[in-house]
Structure 1
Amino acid sequence: MEFEEYAAARGQDLVRLGFTVSGDYQRAEDLAQIALMQAFRNWRRVQRTEDPHNYVRRILVNSYLSMTRKRSFTEAPAADIDSERTVPDPAIDIVNSDDLWRALARLSARERVVLVLRYYQDMDDRTIAEVLGIKPSSVRATASRALASLRSARQYRRVDERLP
C-alpha cells in the first residue's frame, strides 16, 4: 500500500484516536498530521512492520505523551460552575455526558491513553503494550489505577450531589 492510500484510508481513524486521547479536536488534527508526517518520512520502514497502522498509532500516542510532558501543555478543563438554579436545565443530559470527558481529562496522560486504546479503540492488552512500548502487565496495572481514579471521582461526585 502506498502512503497516499494509507493516509486516505486511515486519516480519520487517526483523528478520532487523537481526539479521544487529547479531548481537543484541533489538537487531534495536529496529532494525526504529526503521525502521518513522521510515517511519510519513514514509509518504507513502516511498510515492513507487521501492522503498519499500529506503528502509526504508536507515533500518534508517543507524540501526545511527549506533548503532555512539555511545559507549554498546561491546559486544564474549566472547573464546574456552581449555580443555584431552581428550574432544571434542559441541557443536563449534555452536562452528564460531559462528566466522563472531564474525568478522563483529570487522569495522567498515560492512564488516559491506556483507557482510550482499550475502550474506544477496542485493543487488547498485548496490542496496547506494543503501541506504548511497555509490558502487558504494565498496561493492566495502569488501567486498574485509572479505573480506580474514575470510580473514586464518581463516588465523590455522588456524595457532593447529596449535599444541600
Structure 2
Amino acid sequence: MTIAHAAVPTFEEYAAAIWPSLYRRAYLLSGNHADAEDLAQQTLIKAHGAWSKVSRAESSDAYVRRILTNTFLSAKRAERRRPERLLGEDPPELGPPPEGPEERMALWPHVRALPPRQRAVIVLRYYEQLNEAEIADALGCSRGTVKSTAHHALAKLRNAVDGSED
C-alpha cells in the first residue's frame, strides 16, 4: 500500500507564492523599495541554491525567513566596512509619538534608524509576530540575546519618540 504524500511545490511555484510576503519582510528590514527588491531577490537566489534543503524543511517559510534575515544582516555588516551615505537618507525631524493605528507610520523613520540587528528583532517580533525562540532561530542566536536586543531597540525607539530614557 502506498501512502500519498503532499506534492512538494517546484521552486518556481514556491517563489511565486512567497514573493508578496518575502518582499514585505524585506521592505520592513531594508526600509526602501529598491533595497527590498534586491534583498528579496538575493534571498530567492540563495533559496534556489539550497532548494533540496528548503523543500524538505519542517517549515520552508521559516527556512527562507532565516535566509532573508541572514542576508540582510550580512549586507549591513559589509556596509559598515565601506560606509556610504546617500543624500536624503537622514531621518526626518522627530514629531509627537504616534497616538493610534493611523499614525503608526510616524514610528517608521525611527525603526529604520535602528542598527540592523535591532531592526531585525523588532520586525520579526512585531510584524511577523514571532516569539523569542523563533526569533533566536531566525537570527542564529540565543533567546537571551533576542531579549536584550529587543530591550535596547525598544529603549532607543522610546527615546527617539518621546525623549525618555525609560
Report if TM-score (shorter chain) is over 0.5: yes
Q: Does 1:120 align with 2:130?
A: no
Secondary structure class of the residue paired with 1:142: helix
Match of 1:131 in 2: 138
TM-score, normalisation: structure 1:
0.80
Q: State the 1:78 CA deviation.
A: 2.0
CA distance in 1, matches of 2:108, 2:85: 14
Q: Is the Cα contact below 8 Å between 1:67 and 1:73 reproduced in 2?
A: no
CA distance in 1 between counterparts of 2:23 and 2:105 reads: 20
Structure 2 gap ranges (5+): 1-8, 95-102
Residue 74 of structure 1: aligned partner: 84
Q: How far apart are the structure 2 equivalents of 1:3 and 1:145?
A: 38
> How many residues are aligned here?
144
- Give the residue type in structure 2 aligned to 1:15: Y
1:16-36, Cα deviation, whole Å (9 max, x unpaired): 000011111111111110111
TM-score in terms of structure 2 length: 0.79
Matching of residue 47 in structure 1 with residue 55 in structure 2: yes
Larger displacement relative to structure 2 (110-119 or 57-66): 57-66
Cα offset for 1:75?
Answer: 4.1
Distance 2:19 2:135 in 1: 20
After superposition, the Cα gap between the structure-2 partners of 1:79 and 1:17, relative to the gap in structure 1 and judged at 3 Å, is closer
Q: CA deviation at 1:98?
A: 4.6
Corresponding position of 1:103: 110
Match of 1:60 in 2: 68
CA contact 1:62–1:132 (8 Å) conserved in 2: yes
1:21–1:73 distance in 2 versus 1, CA, 3 Å: farther
Q: Quick one: which amino acid aligns to residue 128 of structure 1?
A: I
Which position in structure 1 is the counterpart of 2:33? 25
Q: Which residue of 2 aligns with 1:87?
A: none
Matches of 1:127 and 1:80, distance apart in 2:
33
Letter in 2 for 1:151: R
List gaps (5 residues or longer) in structure 1.
83-95, 158-164
Q: Could you say which residue in structure 2 is the equivalent of 1:93?
A: none
Q: Do the aligned partners of residues 73 and 53 (structure 1) sit closer, same or farther apart at CA in structure 2, a change above 3 Å counting?
A: farther
- Relative to total residues, which structure has the larger helix share, 1 or 2? 1
Quick one: distance in 2 between partners of 1:73 and 1:16? 26
Q: Could you report, residue by residue, the CA deviation over 1:51-91 in whole angstroms, capped at 9, with x for unpaired residues?
A: 11111111111111111112345347325369xxxxxxxxx
Do the aligned residues in 1 keep the contact of 2:91 with 2:109 (CA within 8 Å)?
no
Other-structure match for 1:148: 155
Equivalent residues of 2:107, 2:161 under 8 A apart:
no
Deviations 1:100-135 (A, max 9, x none): 121112211000000001111111111111111111
Structure 2 distance, partners of 1:69, 1:59, is 15
